[in-house]
Amino acid sequence: MRMENILVATDFSLSAETAYSLVVQLAKRTNADVALLHVDESHGFHSSEELTDYLDRIAVYRRQLVDKALDFFRRNEIEPVLHQVSGVASEQIVALAGDLDADLVVMAKHGARTSSEHLLLGSTTTRVLRSCPVPMLIVPQQLSPHLAQPPQRLLVSTDFSDDSRRGLDHAVTLAEQLSLEIGLIHVLRLPYLIPAIPGELVPAHVPGSLTNRWQTDANSQLTSEARRVSTVTVTPQLVLGTSVAVELAQQAQPADLLVIPSHGKGALRAMALGSNTASLVKLARNPLIVLPHAYLKRN
């Protein structure tokens, strides 16, 4: 994964503006071109003079926001190419990513927390994640002050699958380009109880000898994966836990950029199924690069 063309999708919200500073840092490090996309979803509803006047005023305000965004990048010595289109935002973002041969699509993580503190991801971001053909960088609504500067490390998740191995290869290419080290992390989910067989009332505890063997095997695979890489420093880390997404989110340092390969069809074809990727997108307080399954198979 080389970062040469970055597409930033924006609705000019405060959340979207949060992503600009990180994009500037990445573009400067990689000498990448930046395209700024805004999709106007209000067209096609001019049914009265009053509404037309309202939409005209909105257009003036939108122009001011465009100028503000362009000014931010120019002050940071980045000259983005502006794209303004009408239509369904998620469809236009995915289409332009293909037309521009973008290497990375950047979006802010919109959404709101429910009473149970679960984040409901914004609908546009969700739809783009499901169908985006290239890696996506999801930026949290509040960016750590540490990431006002360039990221210090890539934290890459692995489950030792073929997708994970390809994901590590892409992460290595990016780490070379950004001059970063890699933290390679595997979350070992250890069952504490063996489910009871029919007729038994109490499940049995997993023997310590068995959990030790699982940890030894996982450490061996993790070390082997790290040793495949010779061009950047890779530090393996084994973490025990009950939730992959929770552990990855908690292990990330403030200046880390998370990278996770996504299994299944598309980037997140079934968010409602509670996949590790979907959960991590919701939980992560760090910027997160999602590598779609289709992209990993293609490259």
Question: Which amino acid is present at 111?
Answer: G
* Number of residues that make up the chain: 299
The H or E element spanning position 270 is none
* Residue spans of beta strands (DSSP E) within the chain: 5-9, 33-40, 81-86, 104-108, 111-113, 119-121, 136-139, 153-157, 181-189, 193-194, 204-205, 234-241, 256-261, 288-291
Q: Which residues contact 248 (CB under 8 A, 6 or more apart)?
A: 155, 157, 185, 187, 258, 260, 276, 280, 284
What is the full per-residue pLDDT of the chain (299 aa) written as tens digits? 889 999 999 988 887 888 898 999 999 999 999 999 999 876 555 556 666 676 677 778 888 999 999 999 999 999 999 999 989 999 999 999 999 999 999 998 864 443 333 344 467 888 888 888 899 999 987 766 555 567 889 999 999 999 999 999 999 999 999 999 999 999 998 765 555 555 555 555 667 787 889 899 999 999 999 999 999 999 999 998 888 889 999 999 888 999 999 875 444 444 433 477 888 888 888 999 999 888 988 87
Q: What is the pTM of this model?
A: 0.85
Q: Please, what is the angle between helix 276-283 and helix 244-251, to 10°?
A: 40
DSSP 271: G
Question: Which amino acid is present at 151?
Answer: P
Query: What's the confidence (pLDDT) of residue 270?
Result: 42
* Residue spans of beta strands (DSSP E) within 11-135: 33-40, 81-86, 104-108, 111-113, 119-121
pLDDT digits over 81-110, tens only? 999 998 999 999 999 999 999 999 999 886
Q: Which residues is 6 bridged to in the sheet?
A: 34, 104
The two beta strands, 288-291 and 136-139, are antiparallel
Among 175, 189, 150, residue whose Cα is nearest residue 235: 175
Cβ–Cβ < 8 Å for 140, 18: yes
Query: What's the confidence (pLDDT) of residue 175?
Result: 95
Instruction: State whether residue 161 is helix, strand or coil.
Output: coil
- In the chain, the domains with their CATH numbers are 5-298 (3.40.50.12370)
DSSP 151: P
Among 283, 256, 287, 280, residue whose Cα is nearest residue 140: 287
Query: What's the confidence (pLDDT) of residue 190?
Result: 72
Which CA distances in Å does 98 have to 94, 104, 132? Answer: 7, 11, 9
- What are φ and ψ of residue 164, in 5° steps? -65, -40
Question: Which amino acid is present at 288?
Answer: L
Query: What's the confidence (pLDDT) of residue 236?
Result: 96
